Structure 1
Amino acid sequence: MLARARSVALIGVDAVPVEVEVDVSPGLPAFTVVGLPDQAVSEARERVRAAVRNAGLPFPAARITVNLAPADLRKEGPLYDLPIALGLLAAQDLLPAAALAGTLVAGELALDGSLRPISGAVNLALLAAQLGLPALLPLGNAPEAALIEGVPVFGAGTLAEAARHLGGSHPLPVTPPPEAQGPEDTLLDLADLKGQSGARRALEIAVAGGHNLLMVGSPGSGKTMLARRAPGLLPPLTRAEALEVTRIHSAAGLLASRGRLNLGAPFRAPHHTVSDAGLIGGGCNLLQ
């Protein structure tokens, strides 16, 4: 029997829909994952097998084929563990196929059946809002995804909880949006600085007007100290700006257990000896 689950793939900071097709058919026992998976996705076979059995759910002794569509899009990371496992249960008529197909699902499975947080929950919730679907995620990602308005987010702690939710026997509660919070109080204040009147005025003018600022001086003269206080002169980000910053942090896996928008202006302090690749990013993951 064939079952379908809906999941996502992260392309930079954008989430694109991925359909997880699971087919269970008679034949020699085998578990194949196709659809341009990377090593982490291919290893989902072992995680799913162990998690399903340790959760007390049946694992079929049959030929299992998992297709991640579209097949020409590279699939990366462990976020497909949960949709594959739920699709496997639906293919055995243990879950209603319609409930699974009408939910956006992602999550990493531990061998004992518990769910581990993933990167990009905010980006997934944005896609769910566009598609008009609820999202089923690991419990650790639920507050983060609930930042997106208008998306019912359900957080499951284990594979069994996710299965019971979709089966309708024990529905999970909708994760409430976190309370509004102001900017983080870790910003440094320009009032801490003594002297440097010319440099202070240049910094204030540059920040107020959105200009570039080049500081030249000997080591220890206060350049970095001034630069670190520049974000404290900026107003809080608008919701649109905060959402843009937050989705970048979410895709990079830097929002775990925070559950809040980044309302303060981001600040980065690369060392003066940094290379070009180290400054602008590079390699297989441009977000880190």
Structure 2
Amino acid sequence: MIENSKDTEPSTFTLFSRLPADIRQEIWRIAASEPAYTPGICFFPAPTAGNTTNHKPGNLTVQEPANINILATNTEAHDIALVSPPITRLYDPAIDILFLRPRSFRHFTGHHCSFGGPAWVTEVRHLALGLSITLFLEPAIPRLTSLQTLSVVYPAASGTFAFDTDVDPDSLSNGDPDPNNSNFNPRSNQPLRLRRLTPAELDALTIEADYMYQSGQKSFPIRWTRSGKKHMEMVERGLNRYCRPEHVGEDRLSPLWDHAANRLGIRYVARVFVRGVGRGRFAG
């Protein structure tokens, strides 16, 4: 679009398609490098030796997926956007998903979600947890006062998994180790995203637990097998049970508690990591 010199009404540059291909493609590359503020994933870092600084939104980043506005323009723009370098921008707690790895979970819940922790955690709206840590979030809930969505991230979209399986995106070369999977694209350089599992996929997943639970000076064996659907229901029940008013007390009651429904007013979503898929016409 260009601005008409005679008035303020924009007019369309109708000769764009006649430009040489290399010029058109360079224009699309420049346009694709601009963030569209499409929701992305912020991978909360684990503390390093000698550095346990409380992270803030100002030093947390996301790699945004391909610019959605360019993807929807035409086939040429779509394919160039998918092979353009990922866009790195600052984490926005209002739209982005904050993903907690097992090695960063304790630092986040212990330092950031304590009642003396930083205020920015009260702005987090979308949180994602790996499978193995889903049952340990309860003490952090009172501080996550803006939470809207809690995502449980499974190791893959199908199969049987131990409850303590570590969902670590660093080990996923293209979002799925199986090249026969439709989400596998070795020519895509797009950042990882979280795809929602379908009800059929979730019901076909199997989660198995077999571990010792430590409570004070005693240990208890925990053994169960559940479908992904039943596991999600267990996560929701566990949080509701922990956060009910008679358990936490009025002084620590989460503002997310829905008294009428007798549950936390958040949405639970089952997801899996995948990487963007494209036709790769302009891949190097």
Structure with the higher strand share, 1 or 2 = 2
* Same fold? TM cut 0.5: no
TM-score (norm 2): 0.21
Relative contact order (C-alpha < 8 Å, sep 6+): which is higher?
Answer: 2
Structure with the higher helix share, 1 or 2 = 1
TM-score (norm 1): 0.21
